[in-house]
Structure 1
Amino acid sequence: MAFALIQAASRPFLGTGETVDPYAPPTAAEADRAAAVLRSDYERWSRWALGVVAFVVAAGGGFIAAGMVASLSTPGRVDAVDVIVTLIAVVIALAGSTLLVALWWTGRALTRAASYWLRAPYVNGQRAPRAAGWVQARTVNLEPRILVRLLTVALALLVAVGGVAVFIRDLGAGVSIFTVPALLVGICGALSGIGQGGGVLRIVNGLSAGDPLWSWLTRSVRAR
């Protein structure tokens, strides 16, 4: 079976509130099924692995391309091989970046819809927040498919900090051929970490509808 960024089973549930009849809201069982399908699609190991590969390709290609450009800009003879390597690195970096954007865009659609369906039974009054919801909203981060994403979010943000730190250091100590490449890798890490972290947060936000403490806090804030 060919890999799809969004599986066919998920597409009927992507419309969220825009396609739901307000006079015939979905039942709690229907909402649970929709949320399960969407979460299963988003949390596939293959999506996560593809994202890791895309990040390595984008960051690595960008680092090499920027480094080669910086090297070629120094006085000296420009070798045809260097130009070819630079062009190949640019193409690789663009391919990885395109894949990262596609994963982010489709992941955003899946997690937004999943969050809606997770909250739907509580919003429609079909289910009341309870203690089990408080537990689930917190232990979801320990589920393997979520936990591994949190780990790669942390690693991506560490890469971002490292890349930006090298860039800032070089601004004071002297610009080198690694200054711009490090910044590009840092930007790639920051965007990747923020993008993937946003997907996890949307799922947690959906589950928080079943948390009585969070529901009470949100009602209190809205009442002010």
Structure 2
Amino acid sequence: MHYDLALPREARALPHNPLKAIVAPRPIGWISAMNRAGAVNLAPYSFFNAVADNMVAFSSTGRKDAMTFAEEGQEFVCSLATWDLRDGMNDSSAPLPRGTSEFAFAKLETAPSHKVHPPRVAASPAALECRWLQTVPLVPLEGGEAENFLVIGQVVSIYIDPRYVVDGMVDTAAMHPIMRGGYFDYFHVTADTRFQMRRPKGAGEFTGS
């Protein structure tokens, strides 16, 4: 089977774009941002990831509040979405009238950040405090106006609940993060799904035949 994105939607081999089900599971960037007037927005983004050891990025379809607030305030925070917070994370994605607090709607408490103005989700076991670097319009091959925008931030401070630090290392599985799949699917990270692999030796150290 070949799913051709160049075809009209009704002529494609599947009723839904499979990209989100293939590029999965994906981390969820639970973004809080504050505009110049002090209003706070909270929203989850599944097109999110670390792009360097001190930078993260999320992609917004359309100029939504998380992006515009991050640009105005020059800061944003990524709180970790977890199994225990799954309903609050989902509720914070609801389309609300401008000015309505997603924190209040989702019954989530805020906690002050250390180096930036937007608050983090208080119950989340980890959060990345970021300074906005740039927004990159993702112009499609055929040209025209961009519909998607990549928001890049530099991490300046990291909050970690000390319960999840073991021997100087963060126990990711113990925090039970959730990740996004395709359609309505999510994935739940636990210790049962964890495995380790060591990086192989370089060619100069290779001793096999």
Q: Which has a greater percent of strand?
A: 2
- What is the TM-score normalised by the length of structure 2? 0.22
Q: Which has a greater percent of helix?
A: 1
Q: Which has the larger radius of gyration?
A: 1
